[in-house]
Every structure is written in C-alpha cells, then in structure tokens.
C-alpha cells in the first residue's frame, strides 16, 4: 500500500513540476513626448519580413490581440482619418524563437505614428517553456497582459 502511495505521490509531483515550469515577462517603453491615449485606430500589416514563416501563426495571434484593442482601418480610410486629425498607430511586429533547451520566444511590437512614421512605443514579451509551443503560448499571454496594462480602457 505504501508503495502505491509513493508511486502516486511521485507521479503527481512530476506532473505538477512539468506543467508549472515556464516563465514569461513583458515590458513597454513609451516615448517621453507621446501620449498613447489619443490613438484609437490601427493599421495592421507591417509584419517583419525577416521573421520565420513558421512563426506566421504567432504573428497573426499578435495581430488579433492588437485588433481587440484598436479600431482596425485600411490605408484609404487611414489617409482620410489622418487628414481629419485622428491619430493612427501602425505596429511593426517581430517574433523570434530559439530552439535550445525547450526554447525561448521573443515578441517585439514597435508602435509607430502612422502620419509621421516616428516610433512612439516599444512593447516586448518573452516566454521560456518546456517545449517550443509552450514558450510561444507564454510569450503571447505576456504580450496580451502588457497590452491590457498599457491600453486598459479598450
């Protein structure tokens, strides 16, 4: 009976350790001359062309998270909105995954003012998990939390 109890305890401990192993972090740097509160429109499509095509699903998940925070517009509409004084943000999204020891995924979003092209904020997240897909999930979760922190009213 003691042996069965030890096996069950060992199995549960192992499962808990494996599922809880993982960490993520995120940060944002905002230009000291910019207030992000005026930006309510976003034009998405400026993905980093140097990103690995295998990471396209991660880029799309980040784009989806951004589209939940802003009103998505296309170029023709953006031009008329900018002409009427509306502020439009344009993100450059980059995803990088390293495949050592389970992996490490980095997500970087550089937010630019659509009209001036000037960088106004940089948001970063990373995730280290037991597998590559796990660290990608952690990095996406961290970027979503950071988006909620920086843009809470949307």
Which domains are seen in the chain, by residue range? 24-150 (3.30.160)
Strand partners, 27: 124
pLDDT digits (tens, 9 = 90+) for 47-105: 555 566 778 899 999 999 999 999 999 988 999 999 999 999 999 999 998 877 667 89
CB 23 within 8 A of CB 142: no
d(CA 73, CA 75): 7
Instruction: State if pTM tops 0.85.
Output: no
d(CA 57, CA 61): 6
Lowest mean pLDDT among 40-49, 67-76, 104-113, 139-148: 40-49
Pairing of strands 87-98, 104-113: antiparallel
């Amino acid at each position: 009976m003691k042996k069965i109890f030890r096996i069950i305890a060992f199995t549960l401990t192992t499962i808990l350790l494996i599922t809880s192993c993982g960490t993520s972090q995120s940060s944002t740097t905002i230009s000291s001359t910019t207030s992000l509160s005026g930006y309510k429109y976003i034009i998405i499509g400026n993905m980093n062309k140097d990103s690995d095509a295998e990471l396209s699903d991660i880029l799309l998940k980040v784009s989806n998270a951004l589209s939940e925070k802003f009103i998505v517009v296309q170029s023709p509409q953006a031009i008329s909105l900018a002409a009427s004084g509306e502020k439009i943000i344009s993100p450059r999204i980059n995803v990088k995954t390293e495949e050592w020891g389970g992996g490490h995924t980095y997500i970087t979003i550089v937010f630019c003012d659509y009209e001036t092209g000037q960088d106004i904020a940089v948001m970063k997240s990373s995730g280290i998990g037991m597998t590559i897909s796990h660290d990608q999930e952690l990095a996406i979760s961290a970027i979503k939390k950071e988006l909620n922190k920086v843009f809470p009213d949307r």
